[in-house]
């Protein structure tokens, strides 16, 4: 197995720069909780260091030495988002990965076919059309290296693999750059060796069997977090300066003196430590966040921040060749409460303008009750739905544009006034409901249900009725054959012909009180031809005796 380790040096600093990309290229120092002091500089970039800023300084000391330094407080949310973005870099190359603080491990054993020598594009997905060709080429190259009998061919095979793995490492580093992270990448046969190698070089390829020679010249302090202060002091007393010197000691004797940790240090230095690779699958949602030093109360500044978050979310989704199927916006208010909104997306999309528009409309429709001090944006990943064009059928609206249009319409008329109309399972004539609109091409529409009475074009056209919503109460004069005249808000007419009554009642299990939407009903319906030329449908409520104009045939 070949394991790649991706390491983000100075994670706190990179997370801060990722949240404030405009600060790149300027002196930046991150303050956080240090060991001895309450708050001190925990990370600084090269420009800040050149200005005299050192770890452990207070913010005031840093500003005194380097007045132009931008001091930013360490944000756990930014760090978590950066780590999640790092994980997405791993998922861009492998279906499952192992994560630890500032590091990601992934298995790259099967990726040689994608990165043959001579590859120029750093994105593996951009090579999808040539995967088959590359795999073929790699397999032929691999066979010459592994099964060749001559030493020359073995050397050539190893060199080829080394070159391919370097390409993989460079591709990983390039993908990390896309999500705003500068990383170190090492590929080795053991997880612990890969981890140590990232501490030594920007890109390191350690061939199988070459672990010892690779690690030997490295200083012992590179063991870093694996080495306690006491162990470091002991090794210094022993005169051990490099990993090679440590590896030369008998592991059992070191273990006798330093305990089990000492034995492990020797195995680490030899490159023989067997640390298990424990990968995991990607999380369902991904989240980006940004915290402010002061509360934001207006929409425009908030929209500016949302734009950055949307871009970061989409960059991460793009790494995994996924699109956004829904957004969850969590606004932390000054009061400490969270304003949580779920923003549905009609179709998975990677269009930043569409997503931003949906967010803006949602915030504009229901502004937060107080100033916002932190914004967390979650996205539901989904496979992007490609629009399938058809030679024989017209293309419908583009899914992403449809989503944005429906969102804008919802903001204009209200979400309850928009969608696909539905008939209700009731005898109440005016009943209707609305469901969310989903564009369905004609060939995917299901078989019509039994209640559907679909007419084909050019079948006998049917007479439509226009509803008054709500039904208009009218005065009706009764003659010997039924209604003889009616008077309403806009209508006063004699009735020339009255067809009816058609008695209709239902929903007896509901309240028997006054006729309301949730009460039972009992009505006598009439179709009447009035002297104003219109053909009305009206009904009399049998309980109250009141008359209502339901609409007219048209």
Minimum gap (Å) between residue 15 Cβ and other proteins: 38
What tokens does 264 get?
A: 């492990």
Q: Which is nearer to other proteins, 277 or 525 (CB)?
A: 525
Alpha-helix runs per DSSP H in 122-270: 131-147, 151-178, 191-200, 211-215, 229-238, 243-247, 251-258, 260-270
Minimum gap (Å) between residue 351 Cβ and other proteins: 13
Place of tokens 């491990």: 105
Neighbour tally for 7: CB within 10 Å: 22
d(Cα 98, Cα 539) in Å, to the nearest integer? 70
Q: Which is nearer to other proteins, 460 or 544 (CB)?
A: 460
Place of tokens 């061939």: 207
d(Cα 543, Cα 524) in Å, to the nearest integer? 10
Sheet-wide strand order for 203-205: 98-100, 103-107, 3-7, 184-188, 203-205
For residues 178-212, one letter each, b for 16 or more C-beta atoms within 10 angstroms of the residue's C-beta and e for the rest, the string is bbbbebbbbbbbbbbbbbbbbbbeebbbbbeebbe
Place of tokens 């207070």: 58
3-state secondary structure at position 325: strand
d(Cα 32, Cα 29) in Å, to the nearest integer? 10
Q: Which is nearer to other proteins, 301 or 441 (CB)?
A: 441
What tokens does 333 get?
A: 């208010």
Q: Which is nearer to other proteins, 62 or 498 (CB)?
A: 498
Minimum gap (Å) between residue 439 Cβ and other proteins: 6
Place of tokens 């109309």: 421
Q: Which is nearer to other proteins, 64 or 364 (CB)?
A: 364
Phi and psi at residue 546, to the nearest 5°: -80, 150
Q: Which is nearer to other proteins, 319 or 404 (CB)?
A: 404
Q: Which is nearer to other proteins, 107 or 362 (CB)?
A: 362
d(Cα 445, Cα 331) in Å, to the nearest integer? 39
d(Cα 165, Cα 172) in Å, to the nearest integer? 10
Minimum gap (Å) between residue 469 Cβ and other proteins: 5
Q: Which is nearer to other proteins, 176 or 549 (CB)?
A: 549
Minimum gap (Å) between residue 533 Cβ and other proteins: 6
Q: Which is nearer to other proteins, 352 or 500 (CB)?
A: 500
Q: What are the distances in angstroms from CA 140 to CA 113, 116, 130, 159?
A: 10, 11, 16, 15
Task: Give me the residues paired with residue 463 across strands.
Answer: none
Decide if 478 contacts 500 (C-beta within 8 A): no
Place of tokens 């040689």: 112
Q: Which is nearer to other proteins, 229 or 451 (CB)?
A: 451
Minimum gap (Å) between residue 476 Cβ and other proteins: 17
Minimum gap (Å) between residue 396 Cβ and other proteins: 4
Minimum gap (Å) between residue 321 Cβ and other proteins: 25
Task: Give me the residues paired with residue 522 across strands.
Answer: 505
Beta-carbon contacts of 278 under 8 Å, excluding residues fewer than 6 positions away, are: 98
Q: Which is nearer to other proteins, 64 or 412 (CB)?
A: 412
Residue 521: closest CA among 538, 509, 535, 534:
509
Minimum gap (Å) between residue 451 Cβ and other proteins: 8
Burial of 440 (0-12, 13-18, 19+ CB in 10 A): exposed
Minimum gap (Å) between residue 472 Cβ and other proteins: 12
- Work out the angle at residue 165's Cα, subtended by the Cα atoms of residues 162 and 169, and round it to the nearest 5 degrees: 135
Q: Are strands 184-188 and 203-205 parallel, antiparallel or unpaired?
A: parallel
Minimum gap (Å) between residue 320 Cβ and other proteins: 28
Minimum gap (Å) between residue 553 Cβ and other proteins: 6
Minimum gap (Å) between residue 142 Cβ and other proteins: 49
Which residues would be at the binding site for other proteins (CB under 8 A)?
Answer: 393-398, 401-402, 404-406, 408-409, 412-413, 417-423, 429-430, 432, 434, 437, 439-443, 445-446, 448, 452-469, 490, 497-500, 502, 525, 527, 529, 532-535, 551-554
Q: Which is nearer to other proteins, 336 or 421 (CB)?
A: 421
């Amino acid at each position: 197995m070949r394991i790649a380790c991706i390491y983000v040096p100075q994670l706190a600093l990179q997370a801060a720069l990722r949240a404030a990309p405009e600060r790149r290229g300027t002196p930046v120092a991150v303050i956080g909780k240090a060991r001895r002091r309450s708050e001190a500089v925990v990370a600084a970039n090269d420009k800040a260091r050149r200005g005299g800023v050192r770890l452990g300084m207070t913010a005031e000391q840093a500003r005194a030495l380097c007045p132009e330094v931008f001091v930013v407080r360490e944000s756990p949310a930014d760090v978590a988002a950066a780590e999640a973005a790092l994980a997405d870099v791993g998922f861009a190359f492998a279906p499952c990965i192992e994560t630890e603080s500032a590091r990601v491990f992934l298995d790259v054993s099967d990726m040689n076919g994608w990165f043959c020598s001579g590859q120029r594009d750093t994105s593996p997905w951009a090579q999808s059309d040539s995967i088959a060709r590359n795999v073929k080429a790699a397999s032929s190259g691999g066979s010459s290296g592994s099964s060749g009998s001559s030493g020359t061919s073995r050397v050539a095979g190893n060199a080829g693999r080394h070159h391919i793995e370097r390409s993989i490492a460079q591709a990983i580093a390039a993908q990390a750059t896309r999500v705003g992270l500068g990383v170190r990448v090492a590929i080795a046969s053991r997880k612990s060796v890969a981890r140590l190698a990232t501490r030594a070089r920007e890109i390191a390829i350690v061939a199988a069997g070459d672990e010892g020679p690779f690690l030997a010249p490295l200083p012992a302090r590179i063991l870093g977090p694996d080495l306690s202060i006491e162990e470091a002091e002991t090794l210094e007393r022993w005169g051990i300066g490099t990993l090679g010197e440590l590896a030369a000691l008998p592991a059992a004797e070191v273990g006798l003196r330093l305990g089990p940790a000492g034995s492990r240090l020797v195995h680490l230095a030899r490159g023989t430590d067997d640390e298990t690779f424990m990968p995991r699958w990607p999380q369902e949602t991904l989240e980006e966040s940004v915290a402010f030093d002061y509360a934001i109360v207006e929409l425009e500044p908030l929209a500016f921040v949302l734009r950055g978050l949307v871009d970061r979310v989409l960059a991460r989704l793009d790494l995994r060749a996924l699109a956004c199927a829904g957004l969850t916006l969590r606004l932390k208010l000054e009061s400490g409460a969270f304003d949580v909104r779920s923003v549905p997306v009609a179709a998975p999309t990677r269009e930043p303008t569409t997503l931003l528009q949906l967010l803006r409309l949602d915030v504009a429709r229901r502004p937060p009750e107080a100033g916002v001090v932190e914004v967390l944006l979650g996205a539901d990943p989904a496979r992007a739905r490609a629009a399938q064009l058809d030679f024989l059928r017209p293309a419908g609206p583009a899914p992403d544009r449809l989503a944005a249009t429906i969102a804008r319409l919802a903001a204009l008329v209200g979400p309850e006034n928009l969608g696909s109309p539905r008939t209700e399972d009731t005898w109440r004539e005016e009943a209707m409901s609305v469901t969310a609109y989903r564009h369905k091409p004609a060939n995917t529409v299901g078989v019509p249900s039994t209640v559907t009475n679909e007419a084909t074009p050019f079948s006998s056209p049917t007479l439509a009725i226009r509803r008054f919503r709500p039904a208009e109460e009218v005065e009706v004069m009764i003659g010997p054959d039924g209604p003889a005249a009616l008077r309403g808000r806009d209508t006063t007419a004699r009735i020339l012909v009255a067809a009816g009554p058609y008695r209709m009642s239902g929903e007896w299990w509901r309240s028997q009180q006054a006729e309301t939407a949730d009460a039972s009903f009992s009505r006598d319906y009439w179709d009447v031809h009035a002297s104003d030329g219109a053909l009305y449908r009206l009904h009399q409520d049998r309980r109250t005796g009141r008359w209502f104009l339901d609409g007219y045939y048209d």
